Amino acid sequence: MEVETDNLSWMSQRIRGGEILKYMDGSRDFIAAADIPEKLRLARPPDGARLRGILAKSLAIQDLTLEETAALIQVTDPDHLALMRDTALKVKLKVYDNRIVTFAPLYLGNYCVNACAYCGFSRSNSDARRKVLNADELKKEIAVLAGQIGHKRLIAVYGEHPRNDVDYIVESLQTIYAFQVKTRRGVGSIRRVNVNAPPFSVEDLKKIHAAGIGTYQVFQETYHQPTYERMHPAETIKGNYLWRLYCMHRALESGMDDVGIGALFGLYDWRYELLGLVAHTQELERSLGIGCHTISFPRLVPALNSVIAPDWPYLVSDADFQRIILIIRLAVPYTGMIITAREKAAIRDAALAMGVTQMDASSKIAIGGYADCVSAQEKTKQQFILGDERSLDDLIRDLAARGYITSFCTAGYRCGRTGKCIMDLLRQGTEGKFCKLNAVLTFQEWLDDFASAETRRAAQPVLEQEIREIQAKMPSAYEQFRGYYERIKNGERDLYL
């Protein structure tokens, strides 16, 4: 495992101990303080009355405690599980109605100075062909994403490496936002770029924030420190558990509005990771006043050259994966929940009924994969294999058939409904008012610009139902909405309320 000398000096300057210690209460981090093993050990399946009490809190959009979450993990009674599923769907509908937000992942580079045991991009994988997109290559990717597929939101993914450093991130965000491309009836562009990147210092995070980032995403991978240390060699940056654990504290301090957390389920016992996620969002609320905007729950798949063998004891079954999704929805009722195309279509479709709010589609995870600047051989060397290869058009048609409207709305971020403001609106169920109006406007725009005839037909009943509901439930907003809607139909773009 060799590291270039230049990289060594860059690596040695990344971690700032003071930006960990200042957030810690004494010598124990918040995960150690949460005492998750003890909570799991003491948890018992709740009887009917206790279960209904816990679920009433979820329905009132209140966070569950770690003890309550641990109790839900213990539920095996089929009737109780059915009640949990029923409540999770009600919570989702109360906060997010029947909207699903779609996005695309965009991998900008696969250089990495780390050596995570489960990852094909590890620096020790000499088989991986390394690449970072330059500005022209990036524009080609956006031309496809915004001009042919019709995405408005990305999760831009950056490795931890000097070639993907903060200046590269800022420049790439500027390139993405500035790029416009002609569509069937208008102009397409990316309107919100969420960033999945390594942990940064407050100083670097301020620069990324100023470039107009949407959500800043960093996944802890595993909250179980001994497993974390086993998976991430100590001499790497990622080997520092606390630097990663406190990166969202730094992000919120730096002015970031929305942060997204996640765990790579399958590295350690899923029950522990689930409580770790809940403890993390509660810690952010307690110490910085804002919970997490989104939670992601990727599931580990053994990778090429990885130490994770198919008989690894913590790999998560489909049944347990569904329980994870269900319990996150109930424990953190206001949060956005992302299920990516790592999962098969059937798993993703089932997750809709358990409260998922965001899905990707037409996804490519090879570097340069959208503009097809990659060889078939490189495509086999991606970080993981996709389970759901539906196009955005296919996914939207499937969602419409189930009664879901796809929202391309990015208005909240652009008119200040972010951070604590959006959290409060979500808890009160008030954000839905804007979201419902903007979902219809942006959906109509996408249908006119990108949809196949078949998808336009499938979407029509959902669209008409939404418009009827707006007229009936929001009469004071209807007239303005109707005006905007007609302007969109006449070819104007990017109108929002």
Closer of 71 and 237 to ligand SF4 (Cβ): 237
Q: How far is the CB of 288 from ligand SF4 (least distance, A)?
A: 25
Stretch that binds ligand SF4, among 117-125, 242-250, 414-422, 485-493 (CB under 6 A): 117-125
Handedness of CA 175, 190, 449, 342 (dihedral sign): positive
Q: How far is the CB of 269 from ligand SF4 (least distance, A)?
A: 20
Closer of 110 and 358 to ligand SF4 (Cβ): 110
Q: How far is the CB of 119 from ligand SF4 (least distance, A)?
A: 3
Closer of 97 and 221 to ligand SF4 (Cβ): 221
114 sits near ligand SF4 (criterion: CB under 6 A): yes
> Measured between alpha carbons, how far is residue 407 from residues 144, 243, 298, 442 in Å?
19, 35, 22, 6
Q: How far is the CB of 241 from ligand SF4 (least distance, A)?
A: 13
Closer of 149 and 300 to ligand SF4 (Cβ): 300
160 sits near ligand SF4 (criterion: CB under 6 A): yes
Closer of 153 and 238 to ligand SF4 (Cβ): 238
Decide: 360 and 341 in contact? Cβ < 8 Å: yes
Q: How far is the CB of 222 from ligand SF4 (least distance, A)?
A: 12
Supply the DSSP string of 47-96, one letter for each residue: -HHHHHHHHHHHHTT-PPPHHHHHHHHT---HHHHHHHHHHHHHHHHHHH
Stretch that binds ligand SF4, among 71-79, 111-119, 315-323, 368-376 (CB under 6 A): 111-119
119 sits near ligand SF4 (criterion: CB under 6 A): yes
Q: How far is the CB of 375 from ligand SF4 (least distance, A)?
A: 21
Stretch that binds ligand SF4, among 96-104, 118-126, 315-323, 388-396 (CB under 6 A): 118-126
Stretch that binds ligand SF4, among 109-117, 252-260, 427-435, 470-478 (CB under 6 A): 109-117
The Cα–Cα gap between 321 and 265 comes to 8
For residue 69, give both structure tokens: 């979450």
Return the biggest CA–CA distance within the chain.
Answer: 66
Residues 172-200, buried b or exposed e (16+ Cβ, 10 A)?
A: bbebbbebebebeeeebbbbbbbbbbbbb
Q: How far is the CB of 103 from ligand SF4 (least distance, A)?
A: 19
Looking at residues 306 to 335 of the shown chain, list those that interact with ligand SF4 (rule: CB under 6 A). none
121 sits near ligand SF4 (criterion: CB under 6 A): yes
Strand 358-360 versus strand 336-339 pairing type? parallel
Task: Count Cβ atoms below 10 Å from residue 90 Cβ, excluding itself.
Answer: 15
**DSSP 3-state of 346:** helix
- 456 closest CA partner among 395, 394, 397: 397
Closer of 180 and 306 to ligand SF4 (Cβ): 306
Decide: 356 and 339 in contact? Cβ < 8 Å: yes
159 sits near ligand SF4 (criterion: CB under 6 A): yes
**DSSP 3-state of 425:** helix
Closer of 159 and 412 to ligand SF4 (Cβ): 159
Closer of 172 and 438 to ligand SF4 (Cβ): 172
Using the rule CB under 6 A, which residue among 71, 73, 84, 112 binds ligand SF4? 112
Q: How far is the CB of 122 from ligand SF4 (least distance, A)?
A: 4
Q: How far is the CB of 286 from ligand SF4 (least distance, A)?
A: 28
341 sits near ligand SF4 (criterion: CB under 6 A): no
Please, which residues have CB within 8 angstroms of residue 170's CB and are 6 or more apart in sequence? 207, 208, 210, 211
Closer of 244 and 436 to ligand SF4 (Cβ): 244
Stretch that binds ligand SF4, among 86-94, 108-116, 386-394, 407-415 (CB under 6 A): 108-116
Q: How far is the CB of 264 from ligand SF4 (least distance, A)?
A: 8
**DSSP 3-state of 296:** strand
The Cα–Cα gap between 150 and 103 comes to 10
What HEC string does 101-163 produce?
EEEEEEECECCCCCCCCCCCCCCCCCCCCCCECCHHHHHHHHHHHHHHHCCCEEEEECCCCHH
DSSP type of residue 265: B
238 sits near ligand SF4 (criterion: CB under 6 A): yes
Using the rule CB under 6 A, which residue among 70, 71, 73, 116 binds ligand SF4? 116
Closer of 231 and 462 to ligand SF4 (Cβ): 231
122 sits near ligand SF4 (criterion: CB under 6 A): yes
The Cα–Cα gap between 89 and 425 comes to 19
Task: Count Cβ atoms below 10 Å from residue 49 Cβ, excluding itself.
Answer: 7
Closer of 112 and 156 to ligand SF4 (Cβ): 112
Report how many residues bind ligand SF4 under the rule CB under 6 A.
9
Chain residues that interact with ligand SF4, rule: CB under 6 A? 112, 114, 116, 119, 121-122, 159-160, 238
